[in-house]
Amino acid sequence: MATFTYNVRTSSGQVTAGVLAAESRVDALNSLRGKGFYVLDLVEQDPEAVIDKAGFGGGLFQRVRLQELAVFTKQLAAMVGAGIPITKCLTTLARQQKNEYFGKVLNAVKNDVAAGLSLSSAMSKYPGVFNAMFISLLISAEETGTLDSTLEQLAATFEAEVALRHQISAGMRYPQIVAVAALMVVVFVMIFVIPQFSEIFRTLGAKLPPITAVVVGLAVFMKTYWYIIIPAMFLLPWVLKFINAMPGGRQFLDQIKLKLPVFGDLNKKIILSRMSRVFATMLSAGVPILKALTIVEQTTLNAIYESAFQKVRNAVKEGRNISGELEKFPALFPPMVTAMIAVGEESGTLDHMLLKINDFYTVEVDTTVKKLTSLIEPVLIGTLGVIIGFIVVALWMPLFKVIELIQQLD
């Protein structure tokens, strides 16, 4: 049984593509023609190129990391700029991939290009790997003959996103370690230390103060039902995912993310940095503004911003300017952003202004992350001190009473 990729025209004149399994090329042709399709092209796939197109999220080992995509795009830009044919470029880069899934994707794209499909059409079959921005920029580049420079822009955009993610993760790594260590200390004290004091209190027959009774009760509960508490902590991401999937759940969670103290401001700066970079890349590559706004909407990764950009896009479609519409959302777009976009619209340099916005917010994100790191550390340590202090006071209060009673007896 062989696998074929095909492009056909339906009876209504619509062109569609797909994958078909058949014993031979003749059987594949007969099968498609039997469905009333006019076959435009039919290509047998190499066995190693037959893959699941689910891409990102399609499976544990069917993922292409952004770093891998950035490196691939940069290498492809260099090879195209050197005049190497696309099929040769894809063959070479597919062999170099350590990610087996990505290598199979590139082999499949190469086969489609060799069969006559454009690079953008071939890559569009794998939306989990090559997103809407990638495909839109390729389409524009193929129309203008600027594939190498467009790929360089794409690579720069991906590298900027990778740097942004690394910057955030690196800044938050130490506070996360401190938080986990603090949690482990508290859990250890609650499960292994406090129950020992509970036995002492029970032996002495002392009446426990309310604060001590609460701490001891909580400790006993944690020690008794640890097999429920520990899995529940790991289930939290799944609970959030479930809420996110509910109607209105994503909007609710994303609204909370934007309103969190300190973190909400950081989240807005990250979105503005990402949005301005992607928007600038799209415009400088000649992508129509409505299409660019659609893709920018998708890259914000926040339902509140997506809703705002959707309204902005609809207004621009009616002939209004972007800056005027963004001003209607002062909580999402600071005055500096709308002012610079207004200047860019008036001067015809919107892409350059967006890059300046990106530069500003990239620095802002770095500064905020550093401030947040320096702030979180003492807060976590102070919080841990308060919790431990509370536990110590709760444990020693009944002991003081017992000692006082003993002294009175003497």
- The residues spanned by each domain of the chain are 1-44, 161-410
Q: Which of 121-125, 218-222, 330-334 has the highest mean pLDDT?
A: 330-334
Give the pLDDT of residue 65.
87
HSE (side-chain half, CA atoms, 13 Å) at 365? 26
Give the pLDDT of residue 49.
40
Give the pLDDT of residue 339.
93
Give the pLDDT of residue 354.
92
Reported as a single tens digit per residue, the pLDDT across 137-179 is 888 788 777 888 888 888 888 888 888 778 777 777 777 777 7
In the DSSP assignment, the letter for residue 47 is G
Q: 3-class DSSP state for residue 260?
A: coil
Q: 3-class DSSP state for residue 224?
A: helix
Distance CA(216)–CA(197), nearest Å, equals 8
This prediction has a pTM of 0.65
Give the pLDDT of residue 405.
56
Residues 100-126: what's their mean pLDDT? 87
Q: Which of 199-208, 220-229, 333-342 has the highest mean pLDDT?
A: 333-342
Give the pLDDT of residue 50.
39
Reported as a single tens digit per residue, the pLDDT across 373-386 is 777 778 777 887 88
Q: Which of 58-72, 337-351, 368-382 has the highest mean pLDDT?
A: 337-351
Give the pLDDT of residue 54.
37
Q: Which of 49-58, 164-173, 232-241, 364-373 has the highest mean pLDDT?
A: 364-373
With 0-12 CB in 10 A as exposed, 13-18 as middle and 19+ as buried, what is 399? middle
Under 8 Å between Cβ of 260 and 267: yes
Give the pLDDT of residue 260.
86
pLDDT tops 50 at residue 207: yes
What CATH number labels 161-410?
1.20.81.30
Residues 389-403: what's their mean pLDDT? 74
Give the pLDDT of residue 60.
46
Out of 55-59, 112-116, 195-199, 393-397, pick the least confident: 55-59
Picking from 258, 253, 246, 245, the residue whose alpha carbon sits closest to that of residue 333 is 258
Q: Residue 20: which pLDDT band, with cuts at 50, 70 and 90?
A: low
Give the pLDDT of residue 406.
61
Segment holding 5, helix H or strand E: strand 2-9
Q: Which residue has the tokens 């705002």?
A: 308
Give the pLDDT of residue 360.
93
Give the pLDDT of residue 407.
63
Q: Residue 404: which pLDDT band, with cuts at 50, 70 and 90?
A: low
pLDDT tops 60 at residue 410: no
Distance CA(3)–CA(6), nearest Å, equals 10
**Percentage of the chain with pLDDT > 90?**
15
Distance CA(158)–CA(70), nearest Å, equals 5
C-alpha 272: how far from chain center = 15
Q: Residue 272: which pLDDT band, with cuts at 50, 70 and 90?
A: very high
Q: Residue 261: which pLDDT band, with cuts at 50, 70 and 90?
A: confident
Indicate the average pLDDT of the chain.
Answer: 80
pLDDT tops 70 at residue 302: yes
Alpha helices (H) in 246-334, listed in sequence order? 249-259, 263-284, 289-299, 303-317, 322-326
Q: Residues with Cβ < 8 Å from 309, sequence gap 6 or more?
A: 293, 296, 297, 300
Give the pLDDT of residue 52.
40
pLDDT tops 70 at residue 367: yes
Reported as a single tens digit per residue, the pLDDT across 188-198 is 878 777 777 77
